[in-house]
Amino acid sequence: MPEPAKDTPQDSPKPSQDPPKLTIHGVVAEGEPLDAATIVKINEAAKGIRKNRTYIAYKNEVRIGGTLAWRANNPGNLRGAANEIAKVPGAKGYFAVFPTLAEGEKAQRALYLDHYGTWMVKEAIKKLTPSSENNTEKYISDLKKQGVDMEKDVKSQIDLVMRAVKVNEGSGAGIIVQRGKTQTPDKKS
């Protein structure tokens, strides 16, 4: 009686095999745990990423690579806010994750106006970007180059300050993959 065939690397995957493993680290901020099809998509997308090899998973999509501000929908790189949905590690400490860019901008605007609105921009920036974590003088210089007047209050130029901070924090996009199983088109009879 011949021996049963043994699995070899060339054999196709069996449904009972373990699900694929992620090749990069990240956080599921919204939605269900990642399914096998999404993990495969993340791993494939990650092959083309050299820097910031991490992801944040939302209800319908996963953001891979890019800047932390882009992945987290957090243009001001805020540490926390009432409308955050998760926190993710950054270079120094943890940062808020927002469900959409609009929600991140809403939190940034509220923080700037509610806590720093009457402060001179220069003093607010020193508080928001402490020298223990940033090159604060360079940050201030970069904002000046974008037209922000450091000697005026935050509320008088809130839109300009927010745009300049977004540029300074970096909004470089990475790769977005859709969550869920790959859909196959319906066959027509």
Only one residue has tokens 């977004």, namely 166
Can you tell me the distance from the alpha carbon of 85 to that of 91, in angstroms, rounded to the nearest whole number?
A: 20
For residue 146, give every residue at least 6 positions away whose Cβ sits within 8 Å of its Cβ, in sequence order, or none: 160, 163, 164, 167, 168
pTM: predicted TM-score of the whole model, two decimal places: 0.83
Are β-strands 94-97 and 86-89 bridged in parallel, bridged antiparallel, or unpaired? antiparallel
pLDDT in tens, 113-131: 999 999 999 999 999 998 8
The number of C-alpha atoms within 13 Å of 4 and in the hemisphere containing its C-beta is 2
Does residue 105 contact residue 162 with C-beta atoms inside 8 Å?
yes
d(CA 22, CA 64): 12
User: pLDDT tens digits for 150-176?
Assistant: 999 999 999 999 999 999 998 899 999
Cα–Cα distance between 150 and 77 in angstroms, integer? 20
Digit-by-digit pLDDT tens for the chain (189 residues) are 444 444 334 444 555 577 799 999 999 999 999 999 999 999 999 998 888 889 999 999 999 999 999 999 999 999 999 999 999 998 889 999 999 999 999 999 999 999 999 999 999 999 999 888 889 999 999 999 999 999 999 999 999 999 999 999 988 999 999 997 544 333 333
> What are the structure tokens assigned to 66, written together?
């890019």
Token duo for residue 43: 């791993």
